[in-house]
A and B are shown apart, each in its own frame.
Chain A
Amino acid sequence: MYKIKLVPDNTAIPFLKYRMIAFILSAVLILGSLGAFITIGFNKGIDFEGGILIEIGTETSPELSDMRASLGGLGLGQVALQTFGTDTDILIRVQRQEGDASAQQEAVDVIKQQLASDYGEEISYRRVEFVGPTVSQELVIAATEAVVIAVLAMLVYIWLRFEWHYSVGAVIALVHDVILTIGMFSITGIEFNLASVAAILTIVGYSINDTVVVYDRIRENFRRYKKLSVAELVNLSINETLTRTVMTSVTTLLALLALYIFGGEVIRGFATAMIFGVVVGTYSSIFVAAPILIHIGLTHQKEEEDGFAGAERTDEDAEEKG
């Protein structure tokens, strides 16, 4: 039976030889992402900015420009309209209203009245959301806390399971992924909302998963090959786990592509972020997390001093003879 193998057996790509190029590329991408975040910033959804979001379904597709003019004249500040998936599905966004929560409520009523007088029964409300200023601020704080706590929790877990070099390397890779994802949101202008935070945390989870698999192999190879240099060991480990890394990325990307194409408009931003994150997370496991171990001083001695050898696995050949 013929089988597809994206990565041939006994692949030996000298990844570490290119690590400086990868580091420079990553540094440029990180600086670019930070720059984009500072200059452009997020296209914040109402979750974080406060404001009003109304999705309406119409029987015929009305002229957006007419509707824009009509709603824009209500004195509610910025009103943005766009079709959402189909021509008869329109998304109306209105900036946060000055004043307290009830000001948002009143603005929603004003818009509904205007739409009723312009279009009558033709309109059905698919979704009405508004978020007041206090809540949106709290959501920003909670979201930031969530990401920071997640990264710290990973740092501790890997520290306990491996040793500090690995946890530092993993966290550098994670921060790399999070910053690049932030840059992606800034540049593409994909709405940044609560689902985006969920996406970032899932990317963190996915990327660490990938990194841990490579690290696990590096740790194992340290015990097995006492004579290889650290760089050779790391390179060997990346190559040995490469098939798995690629396989899992492909299956995850297949599922995400299905979500992107068929999952509907509401979920598309989330799917886009995740697709980006899987690619970046895979890249960072190979080109950032593993090579950086060499630069933060991982050595043979260190491994033995920490007494990890033999703690995880005994010589498996003994088991087989029995």
Chain B
Amino acid sequence: MNRFPTWKIIVVAIVCAFGILYTLPNFVSKSTLSGLPDWLPTKQVNLGLDLQGGSHLLLQVDAGTVKTKMMDSLVDGVRDSLRQQGDNIGYRNLSHDGAVVSFTLRDPADEATARERLSDLSNIMANGQRDVVIASDDGRVTLTPSEAAITTRLSAAVDQSIEIVRRRVDETGVNEPTIQRQGSDRILVQLPGIDDPDRIKRLLGETAQLTFHLVDLTADVGAAGRVPPGSKRLPGIEEDGRTYIIKSRIMVSGENLEDAQATFQQGQPVVSIRFDGLGAKQFGQATTENVGKPFAIVLDNKVVSAPRINEPILGGSAVISGGFNVAGAQDLALLLRAGALPAPLDILEERSVGPDLGADSIAAGEIAGIIGIIAVAVYMIVSYGLFGIFANVALAMNIFLIMAVLSVLGATLTLPGIAGIVLTIGMAVDANVLIFERIREEIRVGKTPLNAVNSGFARAFTTIIDANVTTGIAAIILFVMGSGPVKGFAVTLLIGIISSMFTAIMLSRMLISFWMQRKRPKTLEI
């Protein structure tokens, strides 16, 4: 090799131009970027929450509630099927234990008819199996939802929760939130720029299931009183120990809401709600038939208030009052607008970083990076002289390439990611060191400068590949298995390994070839 092939020069030039061009937007403010022509790259490196400040929440959908609700509705379904107008099938002990719904027929002879009616509850799923397995033995009938059916239901609940979480977060006006599913029953919420996530956490912590019930006036509200069947005792929202006994039957539910707004009534913050067509009809009917009785407004199994129905409310609008402050009324209105969660969400993990700490981390990372580069660069020059400068050009380009690839991929730069870049600075020169040491050895055995350079590069090549592939394996495993910030570290490490191989093997080789062609050195100082 006397000349560096032209195609390689073109490749190196293109890659270097790409590296510089796509790194530059990171040094320009966002407002300047928006003014630039479209053909220029404008993508900046995404800063992780630990650098720009923000909140990371890992939520889990309460699978227990989803399952209980599924079983409850199956019990309702069984009841409706057996009690058909004019043709009841007698049964007793209809209940579920969390996994199986069971009841006993009063007359075992009804078994065939009962199974015939229940067959509507058991459907064939996509995988060819039935979602509910019905079995009977001597008048005792069981209905067991299959594993697949439960998984499907849970999955649907998670999808629905994600949608509701997204609506609630959007209503609060957070910029560019990330809301995604993680694993089977988890939701990852990332809220950049939020330094106090308390309000959002509170909003996500409410299921916000709103229902309207009649109050059971026959029951004794006193603590010792027995609760009649078909009714239940619920606490008031004030947490003052007061309880209510209400009828379990839901007269109107929050699913039929069309809008909710915080307003004032007689100087008190209240929430005005408007029902959709079906809701308005149900609400009108319930209030018409129960004038003079109290009507309980229940939110997440707590009674907000139980005002007396003074007259039928037919317009589809109502007001919820319950001693709210302004913020409380606004939050409730927001929750009702966004809709109810199918099950409660637990916060498994929170990581919130204030903007100050993020800015400090960036500043510290920049200083460490710059000092690291200078130290390594100086050491390379004192060790290899001119060849050290070639290696340093490769090192600088390496950093541009890492930044450019991070920008283009839209990868997230985290604090460990910065550590990865600084570490890469130290390790990136390794390929050049391997090559230069080989060249030294070749010179020592008496080769001419050109031959020494050529065989130095050739012989170091396989070593560089083997050494970097093994480090790359570690980086890939970190990327696959790691989470959050650690992933960010793996990404920069991996990009750094690839780009350092390119800059050491191609770029520094090109520089050395150019230099040798110009100077045609008789001896090699390295």
Residues of A within 8 A of B (CB): 1, 3-5, 9-10, 55, 57, 100-102, 105, 108-109, 124-132, 134-135, 139, 142-143, 145-146, 149-150, 153-154, 157-158, 161, 194-195, 197-198, 201-202, 204-206, 208-210, 212-213, 216-217, 240-241, 243-244, 247-248, 250-259, 261-264, 266-267, 270-271, 274, 312-313, 316, 319-320
Contacts and interface: CB of A to CB of B under 8 A. Distances in A.
A243 B466 CA distance: 19
Contact of B347 (A101, A126, A208, A266): A101
B423 A247 contact: no
A262 B486 contact: no
Contacts of B471: 205-206, 208-209
Which 10 residue pairs spanning A and B have beta carbons closest together?
A255-B426, A205-B474, A264-B364, A252-B426, A258-B372, A205-B471, A146-B481, A263-B368, A255-B372, A126-B357
A261 B369 CA distance: 11
Contacts of A1: 385, 525
B526 to A, nearest CB: 8
Nearest to B437: A244
A127 B357 contact: yes
A55 B357 contact: yes
A262 B285 CA distance: 71
Contact of B383 (A149, A157, A247): A247
Contacts of B153: none
B429 interface: yes
Given A202-B493, A320-B455, A128 B347 contact: no
Nearest to B451: A320
A135 B361 contact: no
A89 B502 CA distance: 43
Contacts of B458: 316, 319
Given A216-B466, A263-B364, A264-B364, A126 B353 contact: yes
Interface residues of B, number: 81
B375 A258 contact: yes
B134 to A, nearest CB: 35
A319 B425 CA distance: 34
B364 A267 contact: yes
Contacts of A127: 351-354, 357
A205 B475 contact: yes
A2 B520 CA distance: 22
Given A244-B430, A259-B368, 13 more contacts: A1-B525, A126-B357, A157-B470, A195-B416, A216-B467, A241-B437, A248-B430, A255-B375, A255-B423, A258-B369, A266-B361, A267-B361, A270-B416
A89 to B, nearest CB: 9
A1 B525 CA distance: 8
B15 interface: no
B368 A262 contact: yes
B434 A213 contact: yes
Contacts of B58: 135
Contacts of A266: 361, 415
Nearest to A220: B459
Interface in B430-447: 430, 433-434, 437, 440-441, 444, 447
A262 B364 contact: yes
Interface string B458-480: 11001100111111111101100
Contacts of A109: 198
B495 interface: no
Contacts of B175: none
Contacts of B352: 125, 127-129
Contacts of B138: none
7 contacts: A109-B198, A126-B356, A128-B352, A150-B477, A154-B470, A248-B427, A267-B364
Contacts of A135: 58, 348-349
Given A129-B350, A243-B437, A244-B434, A205 B470 contact: yes
A280 to B, nearest CB: 16
B206 interface: no
A3 B423 contact: no
Contacts of B466: 161, 212, 216
A3 B422 contact: no
